[in-house]
Structure formats: structure tokens, C-alpha cells
Amino acid sequence: MRKEEKEKHVVYTIEECQQCGLKTKRTFKLGDFVYKVGELCSKCKTAALITTIYAEYMKI
Amino acid sequence: MNLLDVLLQLDMFLPEGLEGQWWISLIWILPMFLFIFYGQKLQMWMVLNDVTKSMKKIKSMKENARKEAIGYAKSINTNMDPTERIDKFVEYFTILPVDMDPNGIIPKVQHFMRVRDNRVKNEVKKLSPTMDALTVSKMENILEAATILNMIFKVVRHFYLMGKKSSSVFFLVQLQMIMPILLQEAEALNKAVDAFKAGLPIGDGIGPMIVGKMMLNKEKKIIAKETVVCEDRYKERILYLMKAEGPAGNVGEPGTAVEKLINEMAVNINSIIMIDAALKLEGEKTGDIAEGIGAAIGGIGVDRFQIEDIATKHGIPVYAIIIKQSVLDAITVMRKEIAESFDKVNKSIFDVIENETKKGDVVLIIGVGNTLGVSQ
């Protein structure tokens, strides 16, 4: 019998600083949406913008 | 000649030394007769077993979606038990207009779909009158998934019971043949519920995500129900950007919006570029893009008809850019491969603008799809 392959995913939020362009990847938090003003940029302390939210899948 | 004589005649087929041992012939003769007389029943039993297993899977998915819908409704309004309302809701149906005389059927379909959408929205709002637009849309999407799963289960159960009742293997074999597709769709809907609950962008949202970025920091206005538009400039062309209003889970009414833009606002559109997620064929890679001609928009067909109609009347070329994905990818949280197609699609859009339009042209760019979790 063929063993069914299962996938697990983790959702990430990508924030991009509009000033210096620094990209930060963190796990998704409830309330995040694409093009929402995100957290402060760790480099230049200006508000970053959420540019993408995606899921990375891995086989288990 | 009796049966024993017949069996003894078959001695010639037996290996040396086993002559006269007629019972050895029974080992292959009996199953042969068994298959002749009971073969179909045996096949039916096997098909029935297979279909039962799949039906149980669909039933558990349907029940899970129902529970998720009830749980989400309870989290919105803790003072109310929404079970009865939701159970009634998943049985809702829409009777599409008669198509014997197809002349003018599209406005009728649009009317019925609008009535249905408004009814759903009103029912959802009754769960909690203070609910914001994002929560309403999440609840609507969850309920839609639960309703479709309920419908799939009921249709499968109908054919299963019909097959059983009439002892017809043909009913069951037909069901068994389409079962992998039904299971794939049911699984996609079941997984979609989690994305809807969390307000996550889904694979279908790639079109709105691309156009949404172009719309950032620009003045936007509502042009049709849950549809926004704004103006921009690029290399001496005027761009009109259009998408459903996010981050709520809307698809908007791009067909009506294009009609309004051209007929009511008298915008002289020279080209339309549509960006949408499209179902990939087996063997194609998720996130691959392709360019083509025509109105790239799914759904029941009203918006596609409106766009095709107005484009034909005004001789407007319609260019399509599609992002390939499976049915599962389209309604579950956006995969990395789809999100990574962003730059490639962006490049394609500007290539089309530069190569297919000339300076001074007005180009309409539409990001088609469910804009859940994607603002502008």
C-alpha cells in the first residue's frame, strides 16, 4: 500500500522597510495583512510595510 | 455424463502422477464458475467498499467545516448559539434562471447572484450586528466552504444510495471514477477554512496582490460593489488600476466596474490587462506564469461576459497574464512559489504596456481574484 505523503506548513510575513529596503521574515501573526504598516525597521527605525504573506510547505 | 465424468476427462491437463485426482480440477473450475455468476457482485462489493471509504472522508470534512463555522461564529458573539442558524445556512441553494432561451440570461444570473450575496451578508450580520467588514467576509467565506462541502457530500451520498438500492454497479462505478476529483476539491475546501479564519492571503489572491502594490499611496475610489480603482502614469501612458477592496475576502464586481468606467465615466480605454490565478494542468509547476489573450476571470461567467462584451463593442484588446496553481493552492494560504511569481508578473505587465500600447494610451490593469488578506 502506498504511504500517503503529508505536508506541514508554516506561514511567514515578509516586511520591507520603505526607507532602506531591509527585508525581515517573521512568522505570521493574527491581524497581519499584505500592505499593512508593520513593525519598525530594526536598521532605520521607520515603519516597514508587509509586502508578502506566504506559506512554506515541508513534507513529513 | 455426470460432473465426475467431466472432471475425470480433464485428467489430461494434470501433471504426470496426478491422474485420477479429479478434485485438483475443482481448484480452478470452481473459481471460474464463481466469477462467471458472482463476478459483478464481487466487483460491486469492491467498488462499494472504495466509495464508502471516500464518502466517510468527505463526511468528516463536511462536519469539520460545519464545526469550524459554528466555532468562528461563537468567537464573534459569545452570547448566541449559532448552531441552528448555521445548520439552516449550509442548506441554502440558488436556482439559476432558465436557460432554454439564453437571450439576456446574464443580467438575470447577475441579479440572482447579487440577491444571494446580499442574503448571505445579511444572515452573517445577524450573528453580530457590530461585526466589521473583514469579519463578515471571513464568515461568508467559511460558510461558503461549509455549504459546498455539504452539497458535495449530499450528491455523493445520493448516488451511493441509488447504486446500493438498485444494485447497479454502473451508478457506483461512475461515482468511483469522479471520486478522486471530488476528494481533491473537498480537501481543498476543508483546508481553506483555516486560511479564511486567519484572514490569510490565498493563492487566488496573487492578482489583487500585484495590482494592490501598484495602488499603494494613490487616491482610490469605489467604482462598483467592493471594487476599487485608481489612476497612475507610466511612460506617458495613463493607467487605471482595479481590484476588489481588501483586506476583506471579496472578489468585487470587475465586470460592472469596467462597464461603469467606459460607459458612465467615459474613459477611453485602449487596452485591458487582466492578471488572475489559473488552474494548472498536472505536470505544470505551481507559480509558473503564462501570457495570452482574453478575459482572465473565473466565477459563474457574469464578469467575463461583461468584459468581453464591452471590449468587443469598443474594439479593446484584452491581454491576460495567468499564474498557474492547483485547485488546492488557489483556495488555501498562498504558497511561497506563488508569492515568488510577483516580480515575473510585474515584468510581464510592463512588457505588455511597453510593447502593445503606445504613448498617450489609456490602459486598464485588473487584478482578479479573492483579495482576502491583501489591502491596496
For chain B, the three-class secondary structure string (H helix, E strand, C coil) is CCHHHHHHHHHHHCCCCCCCCCHHHHHHHHHHHHHHHHHHHHHHHHHHHHHHHHHHHHHHHHHHHHHHHHHHHHHHCCCCCCHHHHHHHCCCCCCCCCCCCCCCHHHHHHHHHHHHHHHHHHHHHHHCCCCCHHHHHHHHHHHHHHHHHHHHHHHHHHHHHHHHHHCCHHHHHHHHHHHHHHHHHHHHHHHHHHHHHHCCCEHHHHHHHHHHHHHCCCCCEEEECCEEEEEEEECCEEEEEEEECCCCCCCCCHHHHHHHHHHHCCCCCCEEEEEEEEECCCCCCCCCEEEEECCCCCCCCHHHHHHHHHHHHHCCCEEEEEEEECHHHHHCECEHHHHCCHHHHHHHHHHHHHHHCCCCCEEEEEECCCCCCECC
Burial class (CB in 10 A: 0-12, 13-18, 19+), B260: middle
Mean pLDDT, residues A38-55 taken together:
91
From chain B, pick out residues whose CB is under 8 angstroms from the CB of A35: 212-213, 216, 246, 374-376
What is the model's pLDDT at position B31? 87
Q: Is residue A50 part of a domain?
A: yes
What is the model's pLDDT at position A4? 58
Residue contact A34–B212, C-beta within 8 A: yes
Residue contact B213–A35, C-beta within 8 A: yes
A interface test, pick of B132, B200, B214, B329 with most A CB neighbours within 10 Å: B200
Closest partner residue to A54 (CB to CB) among B198, B212, B334 is B334
Q: Is residue A46 part of a domain?
A: yes
Closest partner residue to A33 (CB to CB) among B332, B333, B375 is B375
Mean pLDDT per 10-residue segment, chain B (376 residues): 70 69 75 88 90 96 95 89 91 90 89 92 86 91 95 94 87 92 94 94 97 96 96 96 95 96 96 97 96 95 96 97 95 96 96 96 97 96
What is the model's pLDDT at position B1? 64
What is the model's pLDDT at position B171? 84
Does any CB of chain A come closer than 8 Å to the CB of residue B133? no
What is the model's pLDDT at position B169? 83
Question: What is the domain range of residue A37?
Answer: 7-12+24-59
Does any CB of chain A come closer than 8 Å to the CB of residue B212? yes
Q: Is residue A17 part of a domain?
A: no
Q: Residue ranges per domain, chain B?
A: 60-198, 203-367
Q: What is the ipTM of this complex?
A: 0.90
Does the pLDDT value for residue A1 go beyond 50? Answer: no
What superfamily does domain B203-367 belong to in CATH? Answer: Peptidyl-tRNA hydrolase (3.40.50.1470)
What is the model's pLDDT at position B158? 94
Locate the chain A residue with the closest alpha carbon to B249. A33
What is the model's pLDDT at position B39? 87
What is the model's pLDDT at position B103? 84
Using beta carbons and an 8 Å cutoff, which residues of A are at the interface with B?
9, 11, 28, 30-36, 49, 51-57
Its pTM surpasses 0.95: no
What is the model's pLDDT at position A5? 65
Residue contact A54–B213, C-beta within 8 A: no
Domain count for chain A: 1
Residue contact B198–A57, C-beta within 8 A: no
